[in-house]
């Protein structure tokens, strides 16, 4: 009787499955004879007896996958070489260099890359797909290794987007085909560092690879830039998480009871341009431009928050983790709650709930649908409008709400001063960007003070 035992190859790419055939006669054969006579390869439903034949098949049918995996492994080797060179130049001890010079890092990275042998190149590179938004706070001892793995993983699956990694966890938003994003999710939740994650932790929206200009993966001190050392204000001290159902009930009670309204603050911890086009009714939306301004905003408004119950929300939940922890660290609030999964998860269950307008996202879409209502208006004429575009002046990164009629008139900058600067630069044909700060940014109050 002949039996067949599968053996998984430890190659960076798993295109071919190698099988060794065992039989009573083979048990007495030498290892060399077994290798020559009893080994064959199977791929795409075909069996190959010679190495030359399987190599030809792989080159003909799987070249895109081979090139993709090869590129990822070569990049890994280049990064390792750079680290070793840096260690040598700075005189680090031999043992530290040895930790990086072996194959452990390469194995750890490649071991967690998915098998894509059953997926065609076209299935991984179609334009239509989705965008994933996720985060996971957890202890990561070697964030650079995770950075290398994420880079290899995203390139293997032809994904674009942004991934931030630190010792406190990972935060990402990536776009690609649904086949690719499914493989990405599976790879994430299969990794031992992210074993507490589930498929429900990934927020999905219609989009794809074209929602981002490229892929950016990096290591940072904070996975969401609040500007406070994670060791001083930790996600572990965050507010109480409320499910979308629980949050909905509290917001509903808040809208019906004036007494509760006096004791509770529904706090939007996003930036002003996000809350401008969509927010929860009766919420407090601080007029801040960056999340890194949020700690100063809290510090300047401690009396306003004193003794209050706080219901905090943001896009996907990650800013609330650190934001609520910072607010709690001040010891002035009665209770601090946060919306688990953010607005994204709330809208999945309550598309016609208390959130009105669009949901701002940090990619080339700028917004995703939330409700039918438009709560914002054109900056120039006041017409209802919620479609952002970048300021037309090359040096300015502000977002502009300018309706079609105003855009046809050439009103495409964030303010009149910026409009004139852009016009002057265009007429001069110098091509040199104007470095002065935009007028509307310069005049904006950095840290607003709320009235008690």
CA angle 191, 196, 201 (to 5 degrees): 100
Per this entry, what is the length of the chain? 452
Residue 269: pLDDT above 90?
yes
Three-class SS state of 115: coil
Q: How far apart are CA 300 and CA 88, in angstroms?
A: 48
Compute the 3-state secondary structure of the chain and give helix, strand, coil in percent, each to the nearest 5.
40, 20, 40
CA angle 324, 329, 331 (to 5 degrees): 105
Residue 90: pLDDT above 70?
no
Binned at pLDDT 50, 70 and 90, residue 214 comes out as very high
At the fourth CATH level, the homologous superfamily of domain 235-367 is Rhodanese-like domain (3.40.250.10)
Say what the pTM is.
0.76
Query: Sign (positive/negative) of CA torsion 235, 237, 238, 242?
Result: positive
Binned at pLDDT 50, 70 and 90, residue 82 comes out as low
Average pLDDT, the chain: 82
Q: How far apart are CA 279 and CA 271, in angstroms?
A: 11
Q: Edge to edge, what strands does the sheet with 169-176 contain?
A: 203-207, 129-137, 169-176, 160-166, 215-219
| Token pair recorded at residue 93 | 């001890």
| C-beta contacts of 436-442 below 8 A and 24+ residues apart | 438/391, 438/393, 438/396, 438/398, 438/414, 439/415, 440/398, 440/414, 440/415, 441/289, 441/398
Angle, helices 63-89 vs 51-61, to 10°: value is 90
DSSP string across 400-439 = EE--HHHHHTT--SSSHHHHHHHHHHHHHT--PPP-SPPH
Residue 88: pLDDT above 50?
no
Q: Which of 343, 301, 289 is nearest to 326 (CA)?
A: 301
Distances (CA, A) of 260 to 60, 133, 245, 301, 399: 69, 33, 19, 20, 36
Q: How far apart are CA 5 and CA 66, in angstroms?
A: 25
CA angle 128, 131, 132 (to 5 degrees): 145
Domain ranges (residues) in the chain: 3-61, 64-219, 235-367, 377-443
The 3-class SS string of 28-40 reads: HCCHHHHHHHCEE
Q: Which of 197, 137, 156 is nearest to 71 (CA)?
A: 156
Q: How far apart are CA 289 and CA 446, in angstroms?
A: 7
Distances (CA, A) of 96 to 2, 88, 109, 140, 141: 49, 10, 19, 19, 15
What pLDDT does 33 receive?
41
Percentage of the chain exceeding pLDDT 70:
76
For 229-329, strand residue ranges (E) read 240-242, 264-268, 278-280, 309-313
Taking residues 272-285, what's their average pLDDT? Answer: 95
Active site residue 438: no
* pLDDT tens readout for residues 303-336: 999 999 999 999 999 999 999 999 999 999 999 9
* pLDDT tens readout for residues 410-437: 898 888 778 777 666 554 555 555 545 6
* pLDDT tens readout for residues 362-372: 999 999 988 77
| Token pair recorded at residue 143 | 């964030």
Ranges of H-type helices in 116-243: 121-125, 143-156, 178-190
What pLDDT does 426 receive?
54
Taking residues 377-392, what's their average pLDDT? Answer: 94
| Token pair recorded at residue 28 | 């007495």
What pLDDT does 440 receive?
72
Binned at pLDDT 50, 70 and 90, residue 25 comes out as very low
* pLDDT tens readout for residues 26-55: 333 344 443 444 577 788 888 888 766 776
CA angle 305, 241, 164 (to 5 degrees): 95
Distances (CA, A) of 202 to 205, 316, 414: 10, 9, 34
Q: For the domain 64-219, what is the CATH code?
A: 3.30.70.100
Of 110, 136, 269, 314, the active-site residue reads 314
What residues have CB less than 8 Å from 402, skipping those under 6 apart? 378, 379, 380, 385, 389, 411, 412
| Token pair recorded at residue 275 | 């809350």
Q: How far apart are CA 442 and CA 421, in angstroms?
A: 15
Neighbours of 239 (CB within 10 A): 21
């Amino acid at each position: 009787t002949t039996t067949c035992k599968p053996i998984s190859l430890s190659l960076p790419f798993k295109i071919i499955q190698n099988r060794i055939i065992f039989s009573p006669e083979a048990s007495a054969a030498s290892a060399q004879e077994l290798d020559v006579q009893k080994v064959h390869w199977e791929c795409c439903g075909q069996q190959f007896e010679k190495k030359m034949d399987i190599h030809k098949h792989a080159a003909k049918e799987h070249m895109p996958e081979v090139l993709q995996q090869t590129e990822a492994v070569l990049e890994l080797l280049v990064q390792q070489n750079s680290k070793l060179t840096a260690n040598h130049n700075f005189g680090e001890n031999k043992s530290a260099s040895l930790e990086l010079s072996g194959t452990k890092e390469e194995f750890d990275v490649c071991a967690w890359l998915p098998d894509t042998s059953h997926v065609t190149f076209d299935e991984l590179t179609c334009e239509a797909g989705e965008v994933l938004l996720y985060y996971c706070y957890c202890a990561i001892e070697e964030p650079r290794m995770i950075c290398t793995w994420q880079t290899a993983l995203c390139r293997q699956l032809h994904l674009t987007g942004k991934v931030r990694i630190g010792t406190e966890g990972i935060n990402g938003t990536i776009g690609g085909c649904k086949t690719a994003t499914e493989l990405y999710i599976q790879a994430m939740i299969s990794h031992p560092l992210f074993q507490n994650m589930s498929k429900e932790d990934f927020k999905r929206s219609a989009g794809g690879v074209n929602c981002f200009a490229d892929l950016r993966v990096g290591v940072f001190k904070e996975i969401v830039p609040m500007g406070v050392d994670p060791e001083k204000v930790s996600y572990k001290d965050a507010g109480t998480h409320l499910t979308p159902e629980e949050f909905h009930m509290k917001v509903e009670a808040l809208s019906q009871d004036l007494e509760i309204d006096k004791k509770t603050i529904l706090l939007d911890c996003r930036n002003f341009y996000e809350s401008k086009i969509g927010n929860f009714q009766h919420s407090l939306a601080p007029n801040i431009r960056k999340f890194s301004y949020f700690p100063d905003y809290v510090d300047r408004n401690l009396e306003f928050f004193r003794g209050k119950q706080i219901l905090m929300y943001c896009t996907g939940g990650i800013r609330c983790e650190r934001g609520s922890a910072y607010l709690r660290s001040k010891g002035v609030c009665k209770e601090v709650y946060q919306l688990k999964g953010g607005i994204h998860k709330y809208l999945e269950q309550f598309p016609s709930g208390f959130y009105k307008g669009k949901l701002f996202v940090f990619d080339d879409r700028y917004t995703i649908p939330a409700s039918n209502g438009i709560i914002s208006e054109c900056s120039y004429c006041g017409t209802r409008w919620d479609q952002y575009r970048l300021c037309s002046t090359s040096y300015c990164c502000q977002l502009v709400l300018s309706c079609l009629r105003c855009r046809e008139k050439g009103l495409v900058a964030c303010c009149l001063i910026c409009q004139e600067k852009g016009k002057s630069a265009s007429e001069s044909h110098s091509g040199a960007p104007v470095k002065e700060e935009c007028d509307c940014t310069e005049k904006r109050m950095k840290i607003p003070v709320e009235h008690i």
